[in-house]
């Protein structure tokens, strides 16, 4: 009997030791593609969907992977041939064309491209943009290649896609992403036009083009502006601000932005202009903190001159480790750089009340669970950073319509407003100043249409997410995925696309 008790005690101690060891060992977090699939699975069990159809919907439809050979000089003055790996994934063809950016990065890989293409499908559906999801990538460090090499690589990449007939205004429409911009998009369009010189819709082959090549005004700041509209939707909601224990509105809110690229910079700038205080800015080579507020424009200019945030003169504190900026106490945290920056290692140290996912996948599932349990509101990436693809949709429509937004209505609008000014002056007996006159009679320009369309899209999509979250008692990410899945299922049903 005594031996049995001793044995039971020994087993119990072993179990305790094993549990302690498991707790001490860092939990392995899923890769990006697995994370997107996990979020999809969480949403799919919230409603009575057809399981086999969901499994079909989750898969990537097409994945193209190929090598691009280029000749590069060697240190001894000779020339050698180097091969570069390239990818293009098309996740879903329930809507055509498919849509997604092209990123140039040394660590881009097939799984990352698949994950981003998958996320893009749900992102487009979430904000009612009629595209399927796609993504592309080329495995290069752009800093190691002169412009003429980047142009050759881009044109060869485009040529390979054209040979396979998987790019075009009605097939697959790329856009800029990390490491690419309007310049690369102009090279892609030019290459396409060499293959199809008589295609009247050739300019709709890509979005994010320079304005001189029928790009659209407002596209540069679109993703950051969309992030701003998403944050504003949260902090101007009395019910949500009560839940967070903060005052309604952006004025005075303390903001930390991690990543001062195109998205982070414009999100910070719009927040600043609305009265928020950017107290922290993080970049790959460090972080800056100032309780009185930092100027995003000033920090960006310093970075462009010095190549680093280190030594910035207007900061109270400069972090050596870029990740430390994420743990600064603030009202709103905007991770606008890479995926997985908020994870099990730092989730317990995050003190933000609102996390606006300006990047794709910045918060891992385990970290999100920890943060939501402590009351943090996470504005999910598939909604929060959808401003880019929304305005890309506007650019695509503009290119297919062959007319600039506002061109057909501006004169009529102005004339109508001038008559209104005359009526106001007649009733009040006062003449408007030149500034007041310009403000009242200003006709709508293309940027006005873009901003208005984006604001309406983000506001309506967030209202839909809130409604679904309340009805089904789920978090906002799950609600966003549910809304997206509902729309995709309906598309497949209506078009008879199920296998």
Output helix, strand, coil percentages for the chain, rounded to the nearest 5.
50, 15, 35
CA distance 26 to 120: 30
CB 208 within 8 A of CB 392: yes
CA distance 130 to 132: 7
Contacts (Cβ under 8 Å, ≥6 apart) of 368? 342, 378, 475, 477
CA distance 355 to 330: 10
Give me the count of residues in the chain: 499
CA distance 376 to 247: 15
Distances (CA, A) of 134 to 23, 87, 90, 159, 309: 39, 11, 4, 18, 34
CA distance 258 to 326: 7
Q: Which two structure tokens, joined as six digits, stand for 249?
A: 């509105």
CA distance 410 to 422: 19
State phi, psi for 47 to the nearest 5 degrees. -140, 165
**Catalytic residue status for 135:** yes
H-only helix segments in 164-214: 182-195
**Which 3 state secondary structure label does DSSP give 78?**
coil
Helix axes 476-495, 51-58, angle to 10 degrees: 100
Q: Is the previous residue joined to 97 through a cis bond, with omega within 30 degrees of 0? A: yes
**Residue 335, strand partner residues:** 258
| Sign of the alpha-carbon dihedral angle for 199, 201, 207, 212 | positive
Single out the catalytic residue among 99, 123, 135, 269.
Answer: 135
Closest CA to 398 of 184, 241, 169, 171: 169
Active-site residue numbers?
135
């Amino acid at each position: 009997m005594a031996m049995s008790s001793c044995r039971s005690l020994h087993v119990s101690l072993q179990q305790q030791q094993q549990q302690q060891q498991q707790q001490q060992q860092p939990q392995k977090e899923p890769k990006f593609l697995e994370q997107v699939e996990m979020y999809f699975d969480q949403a799919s069990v919230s409603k009575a969907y057809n399981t086999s159809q969901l499994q079909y919907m989750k898969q990537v439809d097409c994945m193209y992977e190929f090598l691009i050979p280029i000749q590069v000089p060697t240190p001894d003055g000779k020339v050698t041939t180097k091969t570069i790996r390239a990818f293009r994934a098309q996740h879903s063809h329930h809507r055509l064309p498919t849509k997604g950016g092209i990123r140039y990065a040394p660590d881009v890989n097939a799984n990352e491209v698949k994950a981003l293409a998958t996320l893009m499908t749900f992102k487009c559906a979430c904000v009612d943009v009629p595209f399927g999801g796609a993504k592309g990538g080329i495995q290069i460090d752009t800093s190691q290649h002169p412009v003429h090499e980047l142009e050759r690589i881009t044109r060869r990449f485009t040529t390979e896609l054209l040979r396979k007939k998987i790019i075009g205004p009605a097939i697959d429409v790329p856009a800029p992403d990390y490491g690419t911009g309007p310049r690369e998009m102009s090279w892609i369009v030019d290459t396409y036009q060499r293959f199809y010189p008589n295609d009247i819709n050739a300019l709709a082959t890509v979005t994010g083009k320079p304005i001189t090549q029928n790009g659209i005004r407002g596209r540069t700041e679109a993703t950051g502006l969309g992030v701003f509209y998403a944050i504003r939707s949260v902090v101007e909601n009395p019910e949500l601000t009560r839940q967070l224990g903060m005052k309604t509105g952006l004025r005075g809110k303390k903001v930390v932005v991690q990543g001062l690229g195109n998205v982070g910079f414009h999100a910070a700038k719009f927040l600043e202009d609305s009265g928020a205080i950017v107290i922290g800015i993080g970049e790959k080579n460090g972080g800056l903190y100032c309780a009185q507020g930092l100027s995003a424009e000033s920090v960006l200019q310093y970075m462009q001159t010095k190549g680093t945030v280190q030594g910035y003169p207007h900061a109270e504190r400069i972090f050596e480790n870029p990740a430390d900026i994420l743990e600064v106490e603030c009202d709103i945290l905007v991770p606008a750089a890479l995926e997985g920056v908020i994870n099990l290692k730092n989730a317990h140290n995050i003190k933000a009340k609102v996390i606006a996912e300006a990047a794709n996948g910045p918060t891992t599932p385990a970290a999100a669970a920890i943060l939501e349990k402590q009351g943090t509101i996470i504005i999910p990436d598939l909604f929060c950073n959808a401003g880019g693809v929304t305005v890309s949709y506007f650019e695509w429509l503009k290119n297919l319509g062959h007319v600039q937004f506002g061109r057909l209505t501006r004169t009529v609008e102005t004339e109508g407003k001038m008559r209104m000014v005359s009526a106001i002056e007649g009733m009040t007996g006062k003449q408007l100043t030149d500034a007041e006159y310009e403000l009242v009679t200003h006709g709508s320009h293309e940027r006005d249409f873009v901003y208005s369309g984006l604001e309406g899209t983000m506001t309506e999509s967030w209202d839909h997410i809130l409604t679904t979250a309340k009805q089904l008692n789920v978090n906002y990410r799950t609600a966003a995925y549910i809304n997206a899945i509902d729309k995709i299922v309906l598309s497949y049903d209506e078009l008879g696309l199920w296998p």
